[in-house]
Structure 1
Amino acid sequence: MKKGKLFLVGFGPGSQDHLTKRAKEAIAEAETIIGYTTYIRLVKPLCEGKEVIYTGMTEELARARKAVDMAYAGKKVALVSSGDVGIYGMAGPAFECLKEKGWRRGGDIDVEVVPGVTAGSACASIMGAPLGHDFCNISLSDLLTDWNVIKQRLEAAAKADFVTVLYNPKSGRRTKQIAEAQKIFLQYRKSSTPVALVKSAYRDLEHIVLTDLDDMLEHEIGMLTTVIIGNKMTFTLDGLMITPRGYQSKYQLDSLDEKSVQLMREKVIEAKPAQSLKTYGTFYGIGVGPGYTKYLTLQARDVIEKVSYLFYPRGNATDESLALNTIEPFMRKDTKVEELMFPMTTDRNQLEYYWHLNAKKVADILKTGADVAFVTLGDATLYSTYIYVVKTLRELLPQVPIETIPGISSFSAAAAMINQSIGEGKGRVAILPVNRDVSNVRDALENFDTIVLMKVGSKLNRVVKLLEEMKLIDNAVLLSYIGTEDERVERDLKQFRNQTLGYMTLVLVKKNEQFLLDEEEK
């Protein structure tokens, strides 16, 4: 049997421009590529003609064992990670599995670690020079490390004035850690300390915010965001974030000339394509329901099984679209999947930029005659990003056929789960997404009989306070992440007075009904 080889490959932030020559060679040399689904998509052009094995987000050890076992079977295997494979990557789990096998250098298989550009380095390069002095990396994920240990490390870094790079700052389930981290750093640093929030560095969906320690939580932060917190000397310069190395004080250098720093970050939306008489593909908007596969309609399933191009929205804090997870069992193996970014912002210019960018991506495929599906949670016509694609697509391709396939809304599924009605008789029903300051909730509570509050997550503590004030706290029930392993149904909302939850959380309020706890729940 031939000798196998295991390549542990870091391919950088995701852009082909930042993939090292050796990483590209290692992937080319490998017979089998193994990685997390999202990572495989980033290097998909390099995987043609090879065996590709995808695994889910929490299956790191299974991924590593598979790669090690295949290498011991005589194959050349590349286990890939974004960033650097040795920094919060797959090198650690792989060597743990190799230790179980009794591996030694020069033994049964060869192992090569191929470094890559780390997320911290990539984000720092975009922001200028925030890591110019001592810094540290800390992951806020408590899946493998106790949160009390993480808090001790945050406190030590803040107290020692390290520039700090936070990985995995927030997810659908983990919403409190980043807030606690902010509180710890505010004990030791000024509220005006520069903070950079960099999402999807050097990818199509790159999003950059330069803010400060006091205001950082007012911006979107998710699993794809890297947070860089400056030290006491960090300053901003024309949109960049700089941490001095100390030469200015040592050599009495003149102040930096701001005019010497030039930024080239403007992205231009391509011109509207010319009209054509050719036959376009059909654009399908599919509501996939709340997240239960069993709630997917037959019509939706039929379309998903036939299309070869599929888009899903990205804009929340999760690392993988729940809508995509719901339909994955029914997709063709050769379906080309791509995410479309819809930033959570009130900046109209930024929103319109992404609407046009997304519509342009869809239009380019439709012009080839291929059908395209866009999947979204719940119903495609209710508070869905799908409608923005439709409106903008109509501007680009007025003649393109569009078909919208309805789905079960989250509040309909929620009501069914607890055997409650949304509307009865002549009762008035209000369905509304909650504003950041919950200013739109009081009016609904005062004037309607049943109120469905959607997208409550980050505003939950304020909603609870208002419900208590209006003596409606016992008339409310909370449902979060319906159809997922994180699903919650809570009838006692008082426990959330000082808490927030993930984005996909709703509250159902019925004035004529009290959601009392049964004896077992008490």
Structure 2
Amino acid sequence: MDSNSPLLATQGTLTGIGVGPGDPDLITLKALKCLQAADVVAFPRGRSGQPGLAETIIAPHLGQQQLLPLDFPYSFDPDRLTRAWQQAGDRIWQCLVQGRDVVFACEGDLSFYGTFNYLALTLEQRYSTATIRRIPGICSPMAAVSALGLPLTMQSDKLVVLPALYAVDDLDAALAWADVVVLLKVGSVYSQVWQLLHQRHLLAHSWVVVNATQPTQTVYRPLTPYPHLDLPYFSLMVIRSGANPLP
């Protein structure tokens, strides 16, 4: 399409903003300004009719913008996921071609396993003239260690982040060389992880943070008395396995 096309002259911009881990005050000033200036605010629709986390975070900052909840299935089916991304991209494109600026709110940081990555890629593939910007945010490991009052890394610490753990052997391999390991979505494998940490004498240097920075934030430290925990989705474990673990 010609760069002088009337469509491009009036086309809106899609901006992805990382809105942080839960506390509405942790959204950056740049993201806040963009959010409040947008014509349309999009976000993942929550489950069972309840607001999703991103929607909850931005709610105190919204004015009269049009709200655009988008449906993203909790599924590993590639065909189902592709259809959802395409439908979401098409809905946003219809706003952009009307000259309306759209903000997509993503919890945490956009680049850190963020939903926005898939949406932006789909939009770029289907509509090559789309203009897309990104504004970073605070991701969950940073929020978790702040709640713990600990640094995430120091000096030459080697860091590993495992977004989902399907085999405890993966953690065992990471612990063999990393000084700090962060496990996201640890709830489904917590008991197996606890046993491994017990064998490696690391329970006193491992911590779990649930719903970091949110009103329901809960911290488990040390993990020695907690061989079994029923943890929700937004649960994160930090393990310091280096030669000189923090107290």
Tell me if both proteins adopt one fold, taking TM over 0.5 as the criterion.
yes
In 2, Cα distance between equivalents of 1:354 and 1:361:
11
Query: Where in structure 2 are the equivalents of 1:85-484 lying within 5 Å?
Result: 277=5, 278-279=7-8, 280-314=11-45, 319-332=50-63, 334-484=64-214
Aligned residue-pair number: 241
Whether the aligned pair in 2 keeps the contact of 1:275 and 1:397 (CA below 8 Å) is no
Q: Report the identity percentage.
A: 29
Comparing 366-375 and 467-476, the one that deviates more: 467-476
Q: Which residue of 2 aligns with 1:202?
A: none
Shift of 1:470: 2.7
Aligned: 1:513 with 2:236? no
In 1, Cα distance between equivalents of 2:222 and 2:33:
41
In structure 2, the residue corresponding to 1:506 is in which secondary structure?
strand
| TM norm structure 2 | 0.89
Comparing 383-392 and 288-297, the one that deviates more: 288-297
In 2, Cα distance between equivalents of 1:468 and 1:347:
36
Change (3 A) 1:396 1:504: same
Shift of 1:377: 1.1
In 2, Cα distance between equivalents of 1:479 and 1:318:
26
Q: Which residue of 2 aligns with 1:231?
A: none
Whether the aligned pair in 2 keeps the contact of 1:316 and 1:344 (CA below 8 Å) is no
Q: Which stretches in structure 1 are left out of the alignment for 5+ residues?
A: 1-273, 516-522
In 1, Cα distance between equivalents of 2:167 and 2:230:
14
Change (3 A) 1:463 1:338: farther
In structure 1, the residue corresponding to 2:151 is in which secondary structure?
coil
Shift of 1:357: 1.5
Whether the aligned pair in 2 keeps the contact of 1:315 and 1:342 (CA below 8 Å) is no
In 2, Cα distance between equivalents of 1:496 and 1:377:
28
> Which amino acid letter does the alignment assign opposite residue 32 of structure 2?
R
Whether the aligned pair in 1 keeps the contact of 2:38 and 2:65 (CA below 8 Å) is yes
In 2, Cα distance between equivalents of 1:447 and 1:476:
16
| TM norm structure 1 | 0.44
In 2, Cα distance between equivalents of 1:503 and 1:428:
26
In 2, Cα distance between equivalents of 1:456 and 1:314:
23
Change (3 A) 1:491 1:330: same
Q: Which residue of 2 aligns with 1:160?
A: none
In 1, Cα distance between equivalents of 2:84 and 2:101:
22
> Which amino acid letter does the alignment assign opposite residue 440 of structure 1?
D
In 1, Cα distance between equivalents of 2:245 and 2:127:
49
In structure 2, the residue corresponding to 1:493 is in which secondary structure?
coil
> Which amino acid letter does the alignment assign opposite residue 31 of structure 2?
A
Shift of 1:514: 5.2
Change (3 A) 1:314 1:443: farther
Whether the aligned pair in 1 keeps the contact of 2:46 and 2:53 (CA below 8 Å) is no
Shift of 1:400: 1.5
In 2, Cα distance between equivalents of 1:478 and 1:491:
7
In 2, Cα distance between equivalents of 1:318 and 1:455:
22
In 2, Cα distance between equivalents of 1:301 and 1:308:
14
**Deviations 1:28-53 (CA, angstroms, capped at 9, x unpaired):** xxxxxxxxxxxxxxxxxxxxxxxxxx
Aligned CA-pair RMSD: 2.3
Change (3 A) 1:514 1:426: closer
In structure 1, the residue corresponding to 2:176 is in which secondary structure?
helix
Change (3 A) 1:412 1:372: same
Whether the aligned pair in 2 keeps the contact of 1:315 and 1:343 (CA below 8 Å) is no
In 2, Cα distance between equivalents of 1:396 and 1:343:
20
Higher relative contact order (CA 8 A, sep 6+): 2
Q: Which stretches in structure 2 are left out of the alignment for 5+ residues?
A: none
Change (3 A) 1:476 1:355: same
Aligned: 1:492 with 2:219? no
> Which amino acid letter does the alignment assign opposite residue 389 of structure 1?
L
Change (3 A) 1:437 1:275: farther
Change (3 A) 1:302 1:378: same
Whether the aligned pair in 2 keeps the contact of 1:300 and 1:405 (CA below 8 Å) is yes
In 1, Cα distance between equivalents of 2:2 and 2:167:
44
> Which amino acid letter does the alignment assign opposite residue 190 of structure 2?
L
Shift of 1:293: 1.9
Shift of 1:297: 0.6
> Which amino acid letter does the alignment assign opposite residue 15 of structure 2?
Y
Whether the aligned pair in 1 keeps the contact of 2:165 and 2:183 (CA below 8 Å) is no
> Which amino acid letter does the alignment assign opposite residue 322 of structure 1?
L
Change (3 A) 1:348 1:495: farther
